[in-house]
Amino acid sequence: MPSLTRRQQQILDHIRREQEQAGNAPTLAEIARHFGFRSLNAVSEHLRLIRQKGFLEASTGRARSLRIVSPLQRFRQRVADIPVFGSIPAGLPQERTQEAKGCVSIDIGTLNFKPTPRTFALEVRGDSMVGKHIIEGDLVVLEHGATPKPGDVVAALIDGESTLKTFLTRNGKPYLKAENPNYPDLLPAQELVIQGVLRLVVRRAR
């Protein structure tokens, strides 16, 4: 999260003191008078930047509505809670499940994408993706609705059964490839539905 400038920190400290001593936040005019600003626009711009950096909240159209955001709240703003929907075999396909097992909390700053309501996670079972450094017990974070490119790792429903494999095409036809020579390629006999494209692998301490 971006840090505050010296002046922004002074304004935030003043708001905090006023809330503690007077029981409510100062108005824009009171802040301007305290710091010697000639224009309320200057105060508004400082407050806008402080809010943008996550240290302050305000209700529009209300006087004295400024509220300090606590360190815990700022931390939660940086964290995405991604639902974990059961497990997926990185091996031979198995019947799909939709069992929700909770969620995994991930610092957004460590991601190279922005999570959406369609982002979800699955726990890996099996060893067919070891060539991609995906092993049993890992959590794979996927994006539902994303269009896979050849070479992407996907969670897929192939002829009614779910699996985690690399998405490829051959002569214009899609198929799934294991990253372990002990497992065969999978060609759909009837249908291949991409349930999610891999965005991140989370390895938990063992």
Contacts of 109 (CB under 8 A, 6+ apart): 78
Cβ atoms within 10 Å of 44's Cβ, excluding its own: 14
Rounded Cα gap, residues 134 and 126, in angstroms: 9
DSSP state of 179: S
Active site residue 165: yes
Active-site entry in 87, 162, 165, 177: 165
Residues 6+ apart with CB under 8 A from 155: 88, 122, 140, 142, 162, 163, 164, 194, 195, 196, 198
The two tokens of residue 87 are: 């497990």
The yes-or-no answer on residue 128 being catalytic is yes
What distances in angstroms separate CA 155 from CA 60, 87, 123, 125, 183, one per listed residue? 43, 11, 11, 12, 16
| Contact of 58 with 66, CB cutoff 8 Å | yes
Looking at 87, 128, 162, 177, which residue is catalytic? 128
Contact 86, 121 (CB under 8 A): no
166: helix, coil or strand? strand
Q: Catalytic positions, please?
A: 128, 165
